[in-house]
A and B are shown apart, each in its own frame.
Chain A
Amino acid sequence: MTPVQAKEFYRSMLLARLFEERAAREYQDGHIGGFLHLYPGEEAVAVGAIQASDQGDYVVSTYREHVHALVKGISPRRIMAELFGKSEGVSGGLGGSMHIFDRSLRFFGGWAIVGETFPVAIGVGYAIRLRNDADVCLCFFGDGAVNQGTFHESLNMAGLWKLPVLFVCENNRYQIGTEIHRHSAVTDMARRASVYGIGTWKADGMDVESVFGVVRMAIEKIRRGEGPQFVECETYRFRGHSMADPSSYRPQAESAGFLLQDPLKMGIFQGCPGKDCLEIFSERCRSGNSLSEEELLSVRQEIEATIDDAVLYARDAREPGIEDLEKAWGIPLWERTSGD
């Protein structure tokens, strides 16, 4: 790992963490509505996987997708403005936290029903294959999604037609509040994917270098025409399922198992302090001398300024009007007839 790479991993993970924690604050202050599903704890997965892909590759994600969008290159301003429901938001303020789309950056959602990313991703993969393009589609989902019918239907088609899709399982061991041993007869996610003729891999979802390295190899295989690949990343979300979830279902013993000091001194892990991808990585940078304490601090200061700027941008942005909705929808809102 070069210092440049180290800095990029650190910058990206810290941006993800601080963006989400700021979103939580803005939610508590009433600036963000609806459901808000946050990513702290899982940063190594999105950062490692998307940085291992190319700019032209597609990303399809779930309702916990702010960080995937950030890593894909959507500006913090436009994501924060979307959370604020403003027309400068990446989906015009019409999608919200769970529906982030950016066609030009090939960020294809933002899907809020569990299991929807599978068919969308194989559709994108089918289009890539039909046009004989070299791109790959990255499909993100959690361990809970593996029990939806679309997982099995779509992985079967992906395996059958050797579609260029990388399935990235963010196994955080919880389907909302139900622990994996209570929702899955077979808890080895990679094993469940392997029956569809798909190459399976495992990465340490708390270690960005592990995710990056494994995903890079998996994507190379896809580009060589060896068909879809599946990477299971074991990770943990420090917060509840959404802001509406106090996370009371998780035992203290489990939290203790993940327990380590909070390196960022942000005091955020009230419910579940744990083994932290950021802690692991920043410690490694220090001990390996790839990033000095001063560099780590300056990255942090730069990101804090970026996020302050994003929030100010979102606050000052314009509220969309009914005409914006009508324009996005493309159909007159009240006319049910096709009259001229």
Chain B
Amino acid sequence: MGKDEWRLMEEEMESILYWKALNMALDHAMETDSSVFVLGEDIGLFGGAYRVTEGLFAKYGEWRIRDTPISENSFIGLGVGAAMAGMRPVVEIMTVNFALLAMDALINMASMLPVMSGGQFRLPLVVRMPGGIAHQLGAQHSQRLEAMFMGIPGLTILVPSNPQDAYWQLIQAIRHDSPVLFIEHELLYFTKGHLDWGISPPPMDKARRVMEGESLTLVSYGGMMSRVLEAAKSLADSGIGCDVVDLRSLNPLDLKVLITSVEKTHRLLVVEESPLFSGVGSEIISSMTEACFYFLDAPPKRLGSPNCPVPYNKSLENLMVPSVESIVDAGKRLVLPGE
């Protein structure tokens, strides 16, 4: 890294955009490990749909920053083959919706290879993809597929909610020896946050308690964290202290943090943007019910999206995502059921 870039980094240390944090993580990984290369649609000359690979094509050239044809199943399969041959590919899928075209490569190939090969291949492959509901993109560009991927053994699923996690979790994912799905919420790319590169980061698959409270365990991840934090502040104003947990990883799930928290608060609320039925919260609440049923003073509660494709109309689209008010309301009902 050149001197100018270090100066730029110092200036921006206080606050950095989410996409820039990812960009710097990729740059760092490529600079320090020649086996890392990146491929995807429009990531090279164009710089990436969300600017994540901006500037890297000029710096590393077309063989390490590879613009691909629109052939998701084959360019992710290419990542599998290259990883088998000793590389560390980072594949970008333009949006999570297009990952559905690559299910054979992701599931039948990448996730199963360690067992099929008797442990000979671990497969250091990172697949990054933007996802979630954002700005009226319509049904085919608004999916949240993380709960579906949670049903596939062997795919680590990381869901960074802020620039600090985006940077460090991506660095860790690229160094990881097994497949990682890296899901970036589309509304996060142009949000700012603190980034500190002097730290030794927590393991990429550990949850983090981001706010301490005594009355309610409030759990979420990725793009929903900002609403959840806003709701937690509002609940605190009403005298309801929330233990807010940012999951950071959906597979594996860091249940220990949740169990410790629920043993203190005795109440659990999970907020997600996925459809509620068979969603992320379904797994968390069944696991938590098994683990700490007798600590619970109220039935655990989930908030999420209705079981319906996302409509285009703006006000209807808004109804698909739990609002700050709905989170506050659910929190109050859990803690103060009589009121």
Q: Which residues of A approach B to under 8 Å, CB–CB? A: 58, 60, 89-95, 99, 101-103, 108-111, 113, 115-116, 118-130, 137, 149-150, 153-154, 156-157, 160, 325, 327-331, 335-340
Instruction: List 9 A-B pairs, minimum CB-CB distance, nearest first.
Output: A123-B81, A119-B77, A92-B118, A328-B119, A153-B71, A153-B74, A127-B85, A101-B117, A91-B118
Determine the distance from Cα of A108 to Cα of B283 in the docked complex, in whole angstroms.
Answer: 35
Given A95-B118, A121-B81, A130-B63, answer yes or no on A157-B74 (Cβ-Cβ < 8 Å): yes
At the interface, yes or no: B145 with Cβ under 8 Å from chain A? Answer: no
Tell whether B144 is near chain A: CB-to-CB under 8 Å. Answer: no
Given contacts A95-B116, A130-B87, contact A116 B63 (CB under 8 A): no
Cα–Cα, bound, A335→B287 (Å): 11
Contacts of B64 in A (CB 8 A): 130
B55 CB–A CB distance under 8 Å: no
Judged by a CB distance under 8 angstroms, whether B146 is at the interface is no
Q: Quick one: CB contact mask for B290-329 with A, threshold 8 Å, 1 for yes?
A: 0000000000000000000000000000000000000000
Q: Which of A90, A91, A339 contacts B255 (CB 8 A)?
A: A339
Check B171 for interface membership: any CB of A closer than 8 A: no
Q: Verify A337–B255 contact, CB threshold 8 A.
A: yes
Contact residues in A for B73 (Cβ distance below 8 Å): 119, 149-150, 153
Q: Inside 8 A of A89's CB, which chain B residues have their CB?
A: 118
Cα(A330)–Cα(B283), bound, Å:
22
Q: Is B243 an interface residue (CB 8 A)?
A: no
Q: A129-B63, A154-B74, A339-B254 are in contact. Are A123 and B84 (CB under 8 A)?
A: yes
Q: Shortest Cβ distance from B180 into chain A, in angstroms?
A: 13
Query: Quick check: A330 and B178 within 8 Å, CB to CB?
Result: yes
Q: B59: which A residues are within 8 A, CB to CB?
A: none
Residue from A130, A156, A336 within 8 A of B253 (CB atoms): A336
Provide 12 A-B residue pairs closer than 8 Å at the C-beta atoms, listed in order of the A residue. Answer: A60-B81, A89-B118, A94-B119, A109-B116, A116-B77, A124-B85, A126-B82, A126-B87, A137-B81, A336-B251, A336-B283, A337-B252
Q: Which of B107-115, B127-135, B272-280 contacts A (4 or more CB under 8 A)?
A: B107-115
Identify the closest chain A residue to B116 (Cβ). Answer: A99
Contact B71 A120 (CB under 8 A): no
B residues contacting the other copy or chain, number (CB 8 A):
51
Residues in A neighbouring B220, C-beta threshold 8 A: none
Do A123 and B206 touch across chains, with their CB atoms under 8 A apart? Answer: no
With a cutoff of 8 Å between Cβ atoms, the chain A residues found around residue B77 in the complex are: 116, 118-120, 122-123, 150, 154
> In the assembled complex, which residues on chain B have CB atoms less than 8 Å from the CB atom of A119?
73-78, 80-81, 105, 109
- The residue in chain B whose Cβ has the minimal distance to the Cβ of A125 is B81
Q: How far is the CA of A99 from the CA of B287 in the complex (A)?
A: 34
4 further A-B pairs in the complex, CB-CB below 8 A; given A123-B89, A154-B78, A336-B255: A153-B74, A329-B114, A329-B115, A330-B177
B256 at the interface (CB under 8 A from A): yes
- Name which residue of chain B comes closest to A130, CB basis: B63
Q: Does the CB pair B121–A122 fall under 8 Å?
A: no
Report the bound CA distance from A102 to B253 in whole Å.
33
Choose from B37, B68, B120, B255 the contact partner of A130 (Cβ within 8 Å): B37
A111 CA to B122 CA, complexed, in Å: 16
Instruction: Tell me, yes or no, whether B86 is within 8 Å of chain A by CB.
Output: yes
Given A101-B121, A150-B74, A160-B69, CB of A116 within 8 Å of CB of B205: no
Beta-carbon contacts under 8 Å, B155-185 to A? 177-178
Contact of B122 among A123, A330, A339 (CB under 8 A): A330
Interface of chain B, main secondary structure: mixed
Q: Check B116–A94 contact: CB distance below 8 A.
A: yes
Give how many A-B residue pairs fall within 8 Å (CB-CB). Answer: 172
Residues of B near any A CB (own CB < 8 A)? 37, 63-64, 68-69, 71, 73-87, 89, 104-105, 108-109, 114-122, 153-154, 177-178, 203, 205-206, 249, 251-256, 283, 287
- Output the residue of B80, B177, B203 with the most chain A CB within 10 A: B80
Q: Chain A contact residues: over half helix, strand or loop, or mixed?
A: mixed
> For B254, what are the chain A residues with a Cβ–Cβ distance below 8 Å?
337-339
Question: In the bound complex, how far is the Cα of B71 from the Cα of A103, in angstroms?
Answer: 27
Contact B80 A120 (CB under 8 A): yes
In the bound complex, residues from chain A placing their C-beta under 8 Å from that of B251 are: 336
The answer to whether B82 and A116 have CB atoms under 8 Å apart is no
Which one of B37, B69, B115, B252 lies within 8 Å of A153 (CB-CB)?
B69
Asked if A338 and B253 sit within 8 Å, CB to CB, the answer is: yes
Verify A327–B82 contact, CB threshold 8 A.
no
Q: A90, A111, A130, A337 — which one has the most chain B CB atoms within 10 A of its CB? A: A337
Q: Give the chain A neighbours of B82 by CB distance below 8 A.
A: 123-124, 126-127, 130
Contact A113 B252 (CB under 8 A): no
B226 to chain A, nearest CB (A): 24
Whether A123 pairs with B117 at a CB distance below 8 angstroms is no
Instruction: Say whether B118 contacts A328, CB under 8 Å.
Output: yes
Q: A126-B78, A126-B82, A154-B77 are in contact. Are A330 and B117 (CB under 8 A)?
A: no
**CB contact under 8 A between A94 and B118, given known A108-B81, A120-B109:** yes
Instruction: Among A99, A130, A149, point to the contact of B117 (Cβ < 8 A).
Output: A99
Cα-based distance from A90 to B79 in the complex (angstroms): 24
B81 (CB) vs chain A CBs: closest residue: A123
With A126-B78, A336-B253, A338-B253 in contact, is A92–B68 under 8 Å at CB? Answer: no
Known: A123-B84, A124-B81. A118 touches B74 (CB 8 A): yes
Q: How far is the CB of B63 from chain A (nearest CB, A)?
A: 6
Query: What are the residues of chain B within 8 A of A108 when measuring CB–CB?
Result: 81, 84-85
Do B116 and A120 touch (CB < 8 A)?
no
Cβ-neighbour of A325 out of B63, B115, B252, B283 (below 8 A): B115
A113 CA to B89 CA, complexed, in Å = 22
